[in-house]
Structure 1
């Protein structure tokens, strides 16, 4: 299988809802999950049933695999790709300070480390040292957060409400890793992702949010040039015996997989919200489900499954990608 990185440059603000925080219009996520991106792909293909179900079948059977969308940052000529911080406990070294000021600075550094959600792909192999010795790397600024006021004109009385959004910095955006089993699938996806860019992803697309274009040509990871894309390929091609980290929204189905999770460290996130389908007269509240969050750690890769969502209010079944995209991480190098 050949793996490519697609870097997306957003030309409008984005609204990626965060259902873990309650799912209000003010709650935001910096990244975009693989199940939601897959849903956007399916919605874009809904006008051609034959092509749609071929795409779903390819994903369902692992002929096309995809990660969630994570931030990238361009520093001069260097492309930096960020991945989730692995969910693994590392014993920290004792803090030796000689003054109140030093103690305060170390405490601030530890809090900042605990809150960090992403790290450069090339630094994952140094993760143990980063935590153990409180190495506090400086994170770039990916986005600027804004809140806009809009008015709900439905009903007898207009009511204002607030919508949070992110605007990416000129040298930042999100990237997705896609694996293809043959060249025809890549050519198909190249056209698909260009089309989705005009439609947009995330919420409030009717207000013009979520539109993007490719920031650069897709990078074939086996011919990586930068430190981080080389690291991504090394982790993707790592042996199955290595510790595995989840890079997608994964919904385990097998009892054996659920038992295996007890040997790792993971976080579940609630996936809920509304489904929009071409031809539907209204948004449909979908049934909630729980998935492994990106950054979860397991001793073995977990396959997961594509979820089928049906409703009488939908003209056709809607699918969400719960298949796992796992990479090998050596956290103690």
Structure 2
């Protein structure tokens, strides 16, 4: 995901939610509808969430420091996780509380009955434009992945978060329209409570999904299989490396990948030749996977016997312990 694409989707969602929140609050004040209040709080929470995503994106651009030598890229994951907590607590739990309160103290909508329906229809239209923008920006990086896989595997959290928020907002508006419509049709305020409860359950479910996916990113995820394959080809596509002994990858942020590998190099090379070969391999890796910006390559001489023993290099089997202590190469 490009940073510009994510920012565009966030700003579109932010503007839509601010406008929708204002109109919903007005409708709630005029009608006292529980569903309208739940949707108002939902829109306020979404607006705050988009603000958090923008703040996280900005703070993640800070330069690396001695205390944080790998930079602040993961700060985007932290703010996305906070968004999930806010959506769960402010949006979902408040809607469930309001549903409980309204169910045991029901009252119909007796004044300005046309207001909530009109506001909800307008909100659905506005939210649809925001959702359309998020889909359009996501399609630029989604490729042939399904939407479920895109949300689960995306390394940049902003678009999946906005997609789920906008989807939840649209479905929540339909639930609110159902609750308000049934209340107007029957005069029974408990239908309004049902609409609020449905909104609450929906928001809690979305928040849980976001929290699970963002937690995985916070813990640290490796490169995708096609990225690993491209890196492996880049490493071995030349005479400098005989084989990869082992390799690990880690996303330091949505657009920065670390690659660490022990590589088997031909024997009897000089240090200058090894260094020149490593530089060539690093250049090929960055050309194949541009986000691989932090690369650590450890040269070694491969030994099949050592590999079977679990060490993967010749040093631990061919070099006496006294030589290792003396600082001779091999480990």
Same fold at TM > 0.5: no
What is the TM-score normalised by the length of structure 2?
0.22
Task: Return the structure number with greater helix share.
Answer: 2
Query: Which structure has the bigger radius of gyration?
Result: 2
What is the TM-score normalised by the length of structure 1?
0.22
